[in-house]
Structure 1
Amino acid sequence: MKNIITLIIAILFITEFTNAQVAVDVNLNVKHIVGGKSTFDREKYITLHAGLHHGEWPNETMRDTFLLNYDVYLGRENGTLPGNIRRIGEDPNKPGWPNVKDIEKLGKILKKKYASKPLEKSIEERSKVMMIGGQFNNYPTGKPIPMYKGYEPWTIANNEAAAEYYANFIKEAFGDDGEAQPKYLEVINEPFVKAGSYGTTRQAISEYHVAVAKRVKELNPDVLVGGYTAAYPEYSAGNSTFGHWNNNWKRFIDVAGKDMDFFSLHIYDGMAREGVENYYRCGSNMEAMLDIIEAYSMIKLGEVKPFIISEYGYYWQRETIEKYTKEFDWQNLRSFSTIMMQLMAKPDVMECTMPFMLLQGNWWKPKNDSPTAKYPYRLFRQKKDVEGQTGDEYEFTELVKFYQLWSDVKGTRIDTKSADIDIQTDAYVDGKKMYLILNNMETTPQTLNLNLVDSKKNKVQSIKLKHLYEVNELPILDEKQLDINTKEVTLSQSATMILEYTFKKNINISETNHETKVYADSYLKKIEAGKKNSFEFKSDKLIKAANGELVLRLGMGREHPGENASFVYPEVYFNGTKINVPTDWRGDDQSTRARFFGVLEIPVPYHLLDDTLSSQKVEVQFSNTGGFISSAVLQKFDFSKDLNRGGK
């Protein structure tokens, strides 16, 4: 009987919850501009971790059809630099340095090989934003480079010798009749977590970045160089003392920041201990990670360096994966769109982003030597990889649904806002088309009320739906037409929906929403009971407009709140006036994490902005001791007219 009663209560709760409606505002005539950026840049977001001539494309037809049909751009390649140093000899007159003449010869060979496989211009254009990266065999570890057969081993002398290889190889192997010069160089992949294994330190690796960046840009001034390609960004680790932050990102910015063109890191949901599920970085945790880097970059360097997120998605301990499953693909699909939409909200500081999947990953070997184990993060599989199927023919994995879902989105960004922070929204206009993107960070279905505001009274001609969701963790992509009078949609749990509206006339974008961020002059302040931590914001960007909105982004790392809500929620004062602090934050509750690290996004009444003051002041006070306020950022929206919110 107890179980029956519990089931009835659960059904009633779910019914009540899913019947709750969330208002989504879409202002069709209002361009949303963030730091001067206002378009959906497919080269920045719709990318694949591969190169044009990678040997794991099943065939050229599948490659070309995929790239063109789904409008995909390449990519990232981490084998070129470490692979080719294995066929470069040592300078006979300078021990420990690469032989530049060998690099020149190899460059000619590589260019000739590339020219022998001519590509259509439309395909070649797909790799114009290519990134290459190094590995530890490019680093002066003190051990000989593992050379290919027939080449004499030699040992890299120092940072400058390694930098000479990078700079000359990029100069000689690309351009002219060869492959286009890469736009980006990540100096070395995930080096800090491997430093001990290679007998080096974070300080030494940071200095290595400086040497490589300086020499590469001397010979290749158009190449953007960055790092440190962080693997596991647990900034608040160490009982929320931020020891991880100080030893890693702060150290890197202090040593190498001014010489970097971008900062790179990897963002994964599912980076979990054995047996722990629902372990997410997306949501408030990811916001806090990026905000603290931005804040310290501004304080230390006087500017916010752009980001490259060269891997993101869902990661699980690889040795536990025995075979390919569509269910595991769903975990990635869910994370891809959720994380990407958070990155899309920062177009002014995002240089490039890349969902992590390889083509086949046949080089991978499981730690348990299982003969059936397959690399799980891949775009292609053989038919026989799925239970019940046979054959060696190649097919797409379920991960192709990410590209199918996003294949049509383009245009100018317009103003959108959801009444629930866990419903991500974005929209783009292209002529008569409007693409409305909705993503559900909740684990239950959500009913959304769509409030489309068009001051020009442009009529809807058609609505096409794409809805990517799961049933028993099997990914499903629905595509269908909706009635043109549709005002309400149901978004499945953890799902993404893209609605393509076609209007009678071109959509007239005549108003603006200018979004800017202003960073406090201090960060990382210790939380002590009853003590007010103050943050000053000094910027000419804080001039008050006739209409607008203001949000205080308050990052913090603390032990979990448990039953004591005040352990997370502080009292906040803006220019002396106490403001309401929401009890919800973006994404999950972080209960599976060792501690809370996230951003509270706190609305500030716009009229409290006082541009007669030399600076705006925020004060934050907690009732108990523990942890740090990691960052304080003002997110300011200036409207050219009063915007409709909530259908009012």
Structure 2
Amino acid sequence: MPKYYEVMNEPFVHAKDFVKTYKETEDVIIEMSKFHKIVAEKVKAEIPNILVGGYSAAWPEYDKNNFAIWNTRMKVFMDLAGENMDFFATHIYDGRNVEGDFNFRSGSNSEAILDLIESYSFQKWGKVKPHLISEYGYTAKGLQGTPYSPELNGICLMSYNKILMSLLDKPDRLLKAVPFITGKAEWFYKSEENKEGQPYPWVLLRKTKDGTYEYTHLLKFWELWKDVSGNRMYSTSNNPDIQVHAFSTKEKAYVALNNLSDTKETIHLDYLNKSKSSITDLTIRRSFISENGTPQLEFLKNKMPLDKVALETGETIILEYCINAVNFTNIITETNHYSKTCLHPIVANQPITFTIENVKTSTQGNAIIKMGLGRAHHLSKKPTVKINGEIIEVPSNWAGYDQAGREQFFGVIPIPTNIRNINTQINKIELTFPDSGGFVSSVILNIENMN
């Protein structure tokens, strides 16, 4: 018996199949949402332990048309069926999945999508229902039925790694994440849209001319991440374009780094609490794209600990350290705190206030305000921000690209502040913009208490 059950796969993008006009699709979406509710009730009555969710959104471009896609799709679904859902399923793709414009979700855009779902969940139920990312990767128009492309594999690998690194920031509210990589996809060789018998673009194994199968470059995703495990270690980056996660076991430590920037980046590595002296050996795993567009995976063994490392655009590296046994004596407790409201319209010079309650804080640690923002590119992304009356500076950088190819900006901008500015229990965050237009989609207070 499966642990998770999704009622339908990407249903709302097919709503138009049942009616004549797009206006009528709103009624179809309502009925599909009600269907999810009924199925969840019936399934859980027979199988109480199964987790039921939906709606497996193919096109979570929620900010489009002044958040009309949010208001007529995900919000409707959560209002009608959310009470019966154990999780909310979303598909996150760089490129273009079924509908919408070509864009990159990896980085700040996917963060804004998931943060809005979390914030509305908290607004409705006083708790955040978890995510299940049942597909993630890269897709675009016209890929199916074309010859096998190592270059396309390389683009997919970059997206898998970028999106995975973002999702690893949500261990307490993410049930599962599945990269869109299929096995052999033998059905596709018989498809009418594949008259030349080309492999499905996202297969792990493709059929050769003699009928046997060989691995595609997508195998490199598993080879890169193989054996990475352990307890989380404290790791942080002062550049939102450099994603970082660290894990340790008794004898190994793994530090994963990814470059979201459009340019090559040099990262200076700082080892805390003299931990560098515990390292006995280092293997560097590098996943990158060669100059001719072919994906590469290198394992550089028997290396000395690095003080800096250069990452090409889209490159992921995993530093695999052999270490002496280390006893951790400090604990960092990370929590996320939500306002009871979200999706506020922005009016020039009118403060927008978010009240965040039940916060536990300490004198040591980190605090970040995660501001979700959807507005036209020419409008300000740097409001005056106050937390409990203290003005704090808004950075000019965020995770990933500038989103210039999208109709508007929709992303999360992380705003760090001194943890001493945070009150125990109740906090007030005030945003004031110099111009009108767009929405503050969510405000989340992220706290790392160091004990």
**Could you state the TM-score of these two structures normalised by the residue count of structure 1?**
0.66
2:431 match: 620
AA aligned opposite 2:146? E
Kept after mapping to 2: 8 A contact 1:319/1:366: no
The one of 595, 598, 611 aligned to 2:411: 598
| SS at structure 2 position matched to 1:381 | strand
Question: Residue in 2 aligned with 1:81?
Answer: none
- What is the CA–CA distance in structure 1 between the aligned matches of 2:442 and 2:52, rounded to whole Å? 26
Q: Distance in 2 between matches of 1:633 and 1:310?
A: 24
Q: Give 1:461's match in structure 2, choosing from 271, 274, 280.
A: 280
The 2-side partners of 1:261 and 1:272 are apart by: 25
Structure with bigger gyration radius? 1
Matched, 1:410 2:229: yes
Q: Is 1:259 equivalent to 2:84 in the alignment? A: yes
Q: Percent identity?
A: 37
CA distance in 1 between counterparts of 2:201 and 2:259 reads: 25
In structure 2, what is the equivalent of residue 53 of structure 1? none
1:638 aligns with 2:445: no
Q: Tell me the equivalent position of 1:334.
A: 158
371-380 vs 549-558, which moves further: 371-380
Deviation at 1:319, TM superposition (A): 5.3
Judged with a 3 Å threshold, the aligned counterparts in structure 2 of structure 1 residues 225 and 368 are, in CA distance, closer, same or farther, namely closer
Q: Which residue of 2 aligns with 1:312?
A: 136
Once the two structures are TM-superposed, the CA of residue 621 in structure 1 deviates from its matched residue by: 1.0
Rounded Cα–Cα distance in structure 2 between residues aligned with 1:262 and 1:610 = 31
Deviations 1:242-281 (A, max 9, x none): 111011111111111111111001000011799x87x200
The match for 2:176 is 352
SS at 1:313's partner residue?
strand
The match for 1:206 among 21, 33, 36 is 33
Distance 1:267 1:259, change over 3 A: same
**Number of residue pairs the alignment of both structures matches:** 442
Structure-2 change in CA distance of 1:456 and 1:406 (3 Å): closer
Q: Judging changes above 3 Å, is the alpha-carbon distance between structure 1 residues 510 and 455 closer, same or farther for their aligned structure 2 residues?
A: farther
Runs of 5+ unmatched residues, structure 2:
20-26
Could you tell me how far apart the structure 1 residues matched to 2:342 and 2:181 are?
35
CA distance in 1, matches of 2:377, 2:275: 49
Give 2:380's aligned residue.
Answer: 567
Alpha-carbon shift at residue 392 of structure 1 (Å): 2.3
What is the correspondence of 1:451-530 to structure 2 with a 5 Å cutoff? 451-455=270-274, 458-471=277-290, 472-503=292-323, 505-530=324-349
Q: Is 2:58 the partner of 1:245? A: no
SS of 2:45 mapped into structure 1: helix
Q: 2:399 aligned with 1:586, yes or no? A: yes
* 2:370 paired residue number: 553
Q: Is the 8 A contact 1:366 1:373 kept in 2?
A: no
Distance 2:429 2:153 in 1: 44
Q: Does 1:289 align with 2:109?
A: no
Per the alignment, do residues 463 and 242 of structure 1 end up closer, same or farther by CA in structure 2, a change over 3 Å counting?
Answer: same
Q: 2: distance between equivalents of 1:462 and 1:291?
A: 39
Supply the distance in 2 between the matched residues of 1:476 and 1:302 (Cα, whole angstroms).
Answer: 46
Residue-by-residue CA offset, 1:531-582 (whole Å, 9 max, x unaligned): 111111111xx23312011100110110112xxxx52221111111211000
Q: Which runs of 5+ in 1 are unaligned?
A: 1-180, 385-390, 641-648
Counterparts of 1:610 and 1:485, CA distance in 2: 40
CA distance in 1 between counterparts of 2:273 and 2:106 reads: 32
Aligned to 1:290, what secondary structure does the other structure show? Answer: helix
Cα displacement string for residues 377-398 of structure 1 (whole angstroms, at most 9, x for unaligned residues): 11111234xxxxxx32211110
Quick one: which amino acid aligns to residue 201 of structure 1?
Answer: V
The letter of the residue matching 1:550 is A
Residue 229 of structure 1 is matched in structure 2 by 56
Q: Judge conservation of contact 2:371–2:413 (CA < 8 Å) in 1.
A: yes
Within 1, Cα distance between the matches of 2:72 and 2:437? 20
Whole-angstrom distance in 2 between the partners of 1:310 and 1:319: 21
Give the structure 2 partner of residue 66 of structure 1.
none
- Separation in 2, partners of 1:339, 1:208: 30
Secondary structure at 2:235's aligned position in 1? strand
Amino acid at match of 1:310: S
Please tell me whether the aligned partners of residues 226 and 260 of structure 1 are also in contact (alpha carbons under 8 angstroms).
Answer: yes
CA contact (8 A) 1:463 1:484 kept: yes
How many angstroms does 1:358 deviate by? 1.2
Give CA deviations for 1:156-207 in whole Å, capped at 9, x if unaligned. xxxxxxxxxxxxxxxxxxxxxxxxx111100000011112213561111111
CA offsets, 1:121-164, max 9 Å, x none? xxxxxxxxxxxxxxxxxxxxxxxxxxxxxxxxxxxxxxxxxxxx
Counterpart among 406, 409, 433 of residue 252 in structure 2: 433
Bigger mean CA offset, 522-531 vs 316-325: 316-325
Q: Deviations over 1:594-631 (max 9, x none)?
A: 111011100112221133xx621111111111111100
List per-residue Cα deviations over 1:384-443 (Å, max 9, x = no partner): 4xxxxxx32211110000000000201001000112111110010010210110111113
SS of residue matched to 1:318: coil
Please give the secondary structure, in 2, of the residue aligned with 1:476: strand
Equivalence for 1:195? 15
Structure 1 residues 553 and 457, CA gap change in structure 2 (3 angstroms)? closer
Contact 1:552–1:632 (CA<8 Å) still a contact in 2?
A: yes
Cα gap change, 1:273 to 1:596, in 2 (>3 Å): farther
State whether structure 2 residue 39 is matched by structure 1 residue 219.
no
C-alpha deviation, 1:362, in angstroms:
3.0
- Spell out, residue by residue over 1:434-459, the C-alpha distance to the aligned partner (whole angstroms, 9 max, x if none): 01101111132222221112457753
Higher-RCO chain (CA-CA 8 Å, sequence separation at least 6): 1
Distance 2:96 2:367 in 1: 33
State the distance in 1 between where 2:85 and 2:431 align.
33
Please report the TM-score for the alignment, with normalisation by the length of structure 2: 0.94
Q: Which one has a larger percent strand, Structure 1 or Structure 2? A: 2
**Relative to 1, partners in 2 of residues 1:575 and 1:228: Cα closer, same or farther, differing over 3 Å?**
same
Pair 272,302 (structure 1): closer, same or farther in 2 beyond 3 Å: closer
Deviations 1:57-85 (A, max 9, x none): xxxxxxxxxxxxxxxxxxxxxxxxxxxxx
Partner SS for 2:420: helix
Structure 2 CA distance for aligned equivalents of residues 526 and 484 of structure 1: 53
- Is this contact kept in 2: 1:573–1:620, CA < 8 A? yes
Relative to structure 1, the CA distance from residue 482 to residue 571 in structure 2 (aligned partners, 3 Å threshold; closer, same or farther) is: farther
Structure 2: distance between partners of 1:457 and 1:377: 40
Equivalent position of 2:361 in the other structure: 544
Is contact 2:144-2:201 (8 Å) kept? Answer: no
Contact 1:456 1:508 in 2 (8 A): no
Q: Distance in 2 between matches of 1:307 and 1:399?
A: 25
State the Cα RMSD in Å: 2.0
Indicate which of 161, 167, 172 corresponds to 1:343. 167
Q: Secondary structure of 2:140's partner?
A: coil
Runs of 4+ in structure 1 deviating by more than 6 angstroms, as ranges, are none
How big is the shift at 1:315? 0.5
In structure 2, how many angstroms separate the alpha carbons of the residues matched to 1:368 and 1:307?
33
Does residue 577 of structure 1 match 2:407? no
